[in-house]
Amino acid sequence: AGDELVVTELATPTVPQLQVHNPTAGELLIPAGKILSGGRQTRVVNVSIVVPAGATLVIPVSCVEAGRWSGLSRFADSRRFALRRVRATKARSVKRNIDEFKSKASAQGAVWSSISYELESRGVDSAGELILGMDENLDDRIDRVQVVDKFIRDGVQAGQVGVAVAHGEKILGVEVFPNTEALEAAWEGIVRAAVLDADEFSSKPESLDASRGIAALEKFLAEVAATEGTLSEGVGRGTEVHVETPGYVAHGLRVDGQLVYANAFAS
């Protein structure tokens, strides 16, 4: 979902919830981890949601801007995604809250702590502890911008519906979309987050041939697929699955038996 979706604060604004309205004649997908900017404070979406045509829903979100609670009601699609460790922290706490309380809220304090860590580790001074401060800082780093520009210029390949991010043989994250068009819509945000996440490594990884990289990815995906998860009725259409182990956290959404979105992030 992009600018077609109407996102606003509730009539009585509250941090962990927003209202979304789909004015179009088709369903719209909101992937977990998407950043919505504006409103009284910028938020990140907690779970993946398929919003039916014409529907209005209240959705679970987390605050990613600790220092502001003011502004207008309307939000915009930032075309950005949260960083891997922020997404993993959020997803772990959402899974635990579903298990214990049937709630899709996150542990807001843990999310703020993960954002503070990411900002401080990069020496980024962001007013209001805004997660997008890291993204803005990226544009001042020529070496990183060149990498981002190359991936965006090359774009999504024909028939591509997913992306895997790795450091050597360590798989860091995987995201799968329902079709190439949905991946294209998310591509810039995924690329920018992945390039920022590379800051956690002080050295370049060993070069891998394709077969070793594919083997590492297949092993990671097999482990995730074999792990029992928690099922939860979707906020919109479909059924969510939430998986957590010490090594990774994963989330997916199925609608009418078909996987429409999934992600998995390593610890």
Within 10 A of 195 (CB to CB), how many other CB atoms are there?
20
* Nearest-angstrom CA–CA distance, 75 and 37: 6
* Nearest-angstrom CA–CA distance, 157 and 172: 21
Contact 246, 14 (CB under 8 A): no
* Nearest-angstrom CA–CA distance, 115 and 132: 10
* Nearest-angstrom CA–CA distance, 28 and 205: 38
Q: Can you give the pLDDT at residue 141?
A: 92
* Nearest-angstrom CA–CA distance, 163 and 230: 24
Contact 190, 159 (CB under 8 A): no
pTM equals 0.94
Nearest to 42 by CA among 58, 60, 20, 63: 63
Nearest to 165 by CA among 114, 200, 113: 200
Written as one letter, the residue type at 124 is V
Beta-strand runs (E) in the chain: 6-8, 17-21, 28-30, 34-38, 43-45, 49-51, 56-63, 75-81, 162-167, 170-176, 230-233, 239-244, 248-255, 258-266
Collapsing DSSP states into helix, strand and coil, what is residue 107? coil
Q: Which residues contact 23 (CB under 8 A, 6 or more apart)?
A: 4, 6, 54
Collapsing DSSP states into helix, strand and coil, what is residue 254? strand
Domain boundaries, the chain: 6-123+143-266
Q: Can you give the pLDDT at residue 139?
A: 87
Q: What b/e sequence results for 11-34 when a residue is b if at least 16 CB atoms lie within 10 Å of its CB, and e otherwise? A: eebeebbbbbbbeeeebbbbbbbb
Q: Can you give the pLDDT at residue 179?
A: 97
Q: Can you give the pLDDT at residue 1?
A: 61
Nearest to 26 by CA among 5, 47, 9, 48: 5
Joined tokens for residue 82 = 């949260």
The owner of tokens 């819509």 is: 185
Across the strands, what pairs with 165? 173
Mean pLDDT per block of 10 residues along the chain (267 residues) reads 88 98 97 97 98 98 94 95 98 98 98 94 82 88 94 97 94 98 97 94 79 94 97 99 98 97 97
Q: Can you give the pLDDT at residue 163?
A: 98
